[in-house]
Protein backbone atom coordinates (compact mmCIF):
# COMPACT_ATOMS: atom_id res chain seq x y z
CA UNK A 1 0.00 0.00 0.00
CA UNK A 2 1.34 3.39 -0.93
CA UNK A 3 1.93 6.03 1.71
CA UNK A 4 -0.55 8.40 0.07
CA UNK A 5 -3.32 5.78 0.13
CA UNK A 6 -2.57 4.88 3.73
CA UNK A 7 -2.54 8.57 4.74
CA UNK A 8 -5.83 9.11 2.93
CA UNK A 9 -7.46 6.17 4.73
CA UNK A 10 -6.10 7.34 8.09
CA UNK A 11 -7.46 10.83 7.41
CA UNK A 12 -10.87 9.47 6.50
CA UNK A 13 -10.90 7.30 9.61
CA UNK A 14 -9.95 10.24 11.81
CA UNK A 15 -12.61 12.43 10.19
CA UNK A 16 -15.22 9.72 10.76
CA UNK A 17 -14.21 9.36 14.41
CA UNK A 18 -14.32 13.12 14.93
CA UNK A 19 -17.72 13.31 13.24
CA UNK A 20 -19.11 10.53 15.42
CA UNK A 21 -17.75 12.15 18.58
CA UNK A 22 -19.27 15.48 17.54
CA UNK A 23 -22.68 13.88 16.98
CA UNK A 24 -22.59 12.18 20.39
CA UNK A 25 -21.49 15.37 22.13
CA UNK A 26 -23.99 17.51 20.26
CA UNK A 27 -26.85 15.21 21.35
CA UNK A 28 -25.70 15.55 24.94
CA UNK A 29 -25.41 19.32 24.58
CA UNK A 30 -28.87 19.54 23.00
CA UNK A 31 -30.35 17.53 25.86
CA UNK A 32 -28.78 19.88 28.41
CA UNK A 33 -30.14 22.92 26.58
CA UNK A 34 -33.63 21.37 26.38
CA UNK A 35 -33.54 20.63 30.11
CA UNK A 36 -32.57 24.23 30.90
CA UNK A 37 -35.37 25.53 28.67
CA UNK A 38 -37.89 23.22 30.38
CA UNK A 39 -36.76 24.40 33.81
CA UNK A 40 -37.18 28.05 32.72
CA UNK A 41 -40.68 27.23 31.38
CA UNK A 42 -41.64 25.67 34.70
CA UNK A 43 -40.31 28.68 36.62
CA UNK A 44 -42.25 31.06 34.36
CA UNK A 45 -45.37 28.97 34.96
CA UNK A 46 -44.89 29.26 38.73
CA UNK A 47 -44.28 33.02 38.42
CA UNK A 48 -47.34 33.57 36.24
CA UNK A 49 -49.94 31.12 37.55
CA UNK A 50 -48.85 30.68 41.18
CA UNK A 51 -47.73 34.27 41.80
CA UNK A 52 -44.11 33.22 42.30
CA UNK A 53 -44.88 31.03 45.31
CA UNK A 54 -41.48 30.33 46.96
CA UNK A 55 -42.43 26.78 47.99
CA UNK A 56 -43.54 25.94 44.46
CA UNK A 57 -40.32 27.47 43.11
CA UNK A 58 -38.26 25.25 45.43
CA UNK A 59 -40.19 22.21 44.23
CA UNK A 60 -39.46 23.11 40.60
CA UNK A 61 -35.76 23.53 41.40
CA UNK A 62 -35.62 20.15 43.16
CA UNK A 63 -37.36 18.15 40.40
CA UNK A 64 -35.29 15.89 38.19
CA UNK A 65 -35.26 16.59 34.46
CA UNK A 66 -37.61 13.67 33.76
CA UNK A 67 -40.06 14.80 36.46
CA UNK A 68 -39.97 18.31 35.03
CA UNK A 69 -40.79 17.01 31.55
CA UNK A 70 -43.74 15.07 32.99
CA UNK A 71 -44.99 18.14 34.85
CA UNK A 72 -44.80 20.33 31.76
CA UNK A 73 -46.60 17.73 29.64
CA UNK A 74 -49.45 17.70 32.18
CA UNK A 75 -49.58 21.51 32.13
CA UNK A 76 -49.69 21.48 28.32
CA UNK A 77 -52.52 18.90 28.28
CA UNK A 78 -54.55 20.91 30.80
CA UNK A 79 -54.04 24.04 28.70
CA UNK A 80 -55.25 22.19 25.60
CA UNK A 81 -58.32 20.91 27.45
CA UNK A 82 -59.06 24.42 28.69
CA UNK A 83 -58.85 25.71 25.11
CA UNK A 84 -61.18 22.97 23.86
CA UNK A 85 -63.73 23.67 26.59
CA UNK A 86 -63.79 27.39 25.80
CA UNK A 87 -64.24 26.56 22.13
CA UNK A 88 -67.20 24.28 22.91
CA UNK A 89 -68.83 26.87 25.20
CA UNK A 90 -68.53 29.48 22.45
CA UNK A 91 -70.25 27.10 20.03
CA UNK A 92 -72.95 26.36 22.60
CA UNK A 93 -73.56 30.09 23.10
CA UNK A 94 -73.86 30.61 19.34
CA UNK A 95 -76.36 27.76 18.98
CA UNK A 96 -78.38 28.98 21.97
CA UNK A 97 -78.52 32.56 20.66
CA UNK A 98 -79.48 31.28 17.22
CA UNK A 99 -82.30 29.13 18.67
CA UNK A 100 -83.56 32.02 20.83
CA UNK A 101 -83.86 34.27 17.77
CA UNK A 102 -86.13 31.76 16.01
Whether 64 has a pLDDT exceeding 90, the answer reads yes
Determine contact, residues 43/60, Cβ cutoff 8 Å.
yes
Q: Which of 72, 63, 79 is nearest to 44 (CA)?
A: 72
DSSP per-residue letters across 9-43? HHHHHHHHHHHHHHHHHHHHHHHHHHHHHHHHHHH
What distance in Å separates the CA atoms of residue 68 and residue 70, rounded to the nearest whole number?
5
Q: What's CA 85's distance to the chain center, in Å?
A: 24
Mind listing the pLDDT tens digit for each residue in 68-83?
A: 999 999 988 888 787 7
For the chain, how many residues are written? 102
What distance in Å separates the CA atoms of residue 45 and residue 80, rounded to the nearest whole number?
15
Give the pLDDT score at 55: 93
The whole-model pTM stands at 0.57
Whether 67 has a pLDDT exceeding 90, the answer reads yes
Q: Between 35 and 4, whose confidence is greater?
A: 35
Determine contact, residues 96/70, Cβ cutoff 8 Å.
no
Amino acid sequence: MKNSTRNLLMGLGAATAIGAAYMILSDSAMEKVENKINRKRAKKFVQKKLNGNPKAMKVVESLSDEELINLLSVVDKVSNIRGNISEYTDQLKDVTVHKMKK
